[in-house]
Amino acid sequence: MIVDDCETPVELTGPARRIVSLVPSITEAIALTCPQRLVGCTEWCIRPTDIKERAGHEVARVRGTKNPDRDAIAALRPDLVVANREENREYDVDLLREAGIPVWVTSIDGTEQAIASLARLFAEALGIDEPDWLGQARREWSAPAPEPELSAVVAIWRDPWMCAGPTTYIQDVLAHCGVRLAALPDDGTRYPHVELETLRNLGADRLVLPDEPYHFSAEDGPEAFPGQDVRLVDGQKLAWYGPSMVGARQYLEDAVR
C-alpha cells in the first residue's frame, strides 16, 4: 500500500495509466514526462500549450481547481486523480474517494518538499524513473539558502490586496534567492489580506507583482506604489513546482535582486 503526502493510503493495482490532474504544476510535469497517461486536467492547466498534441488524444477539461466536475472526472475512468492540499478542496477529494476513485494529494510548502513529493509521485504512483527535468531542478535548488540581502512583499491579488505569507512555497523560493519576505499583519491565513496603505508603508526593498493568479501589469505598480521599486515577474517561475522550477532560481535572482 502506498500513501500520498498527507499519509492517506492510495489503492492502486499497478502504475497509474489514466491520470486526471487538478493541479496546473503537476499537469505540466506529467505532460512533459508521460503525456499519453493524461486524460483530464483543469481549465487552469495552461502549460505546456500543446498538451493534446503531446498526449496524442483529447485531454478533457474538468472545470477549475476549486470546482472540478466530479461526474466528468468519473466518466474518464481514471486510475488516479492528483490534487494538492492547498489548491484543491478537501470536500472534492473526499467525494472522489467515496466514489471509488484513487486520489493522490500533494502537500508542498517549499522547494525541497516539491522535489521529494514529485519524485515519490513518479516512482510510487506512476512507476516512472526520475525525469531529467526533475534531476536538474534538484541540482539547481539543492544549494542552501544564502543570507538575505533584501526584503520583499509579494502581492498575489488586488481588490482586496493579498500577499504571500511566511509559511508559503513562495517564501521558500525567494529565501533560496537571498530575499526575505517583509513582515505582514497576521490575519491567521497563509495569504493575508493587507490594506493598500499598510503595504505602502512596510518599507520593503521590493514589491513583487507576479502575472498570476492575478494578472498584474506595469500599470498596477506605479499607480498603487509611486516611487517604490516594483518588479513584475513570471508567476509560474515564482509559484509553480515542476518543470517550471528549472531555471527559476537564476531568473528570480535576476528579476528581484
Amino acid at 65: T
Amino acid at 103: V
Q: Are 234 and 213 in contact (CB under 8 A)?
A: no
In the chain, the domains with their CATH numbers are: 2-140 (3.40.50.1980), 150-256 (3.40.50.1980)
Band the pLDDT of 1: cuts 50, 70, 90.
confident
What number of other Cβ atoms are within 10 A of residue 212's Cβ? 16
Query: Average model confidence (pLDDT) for the chain?
Result: 95
Distance spanning both ends of the chain, measured CA to CA: 45
Residue in the block written with cell 508603508: 201
Amino acid at 78: P
Residue 34 C-alpha cell reads as 508521460
75-108 pLDDT tens trace: 999 999 999 999 999 999 999 999 999 999 999 9
Residue 184 C-alpha cell reads as 505582514
How far apart are alpha carbons 237 and 246 in whole angstroms? 8
Please give the full DSSP string across 208-227, using - where no structure is assigned: EEESSSS---TTHHHHHSTT
Residue 222: pLDDT above 90? Answer: no
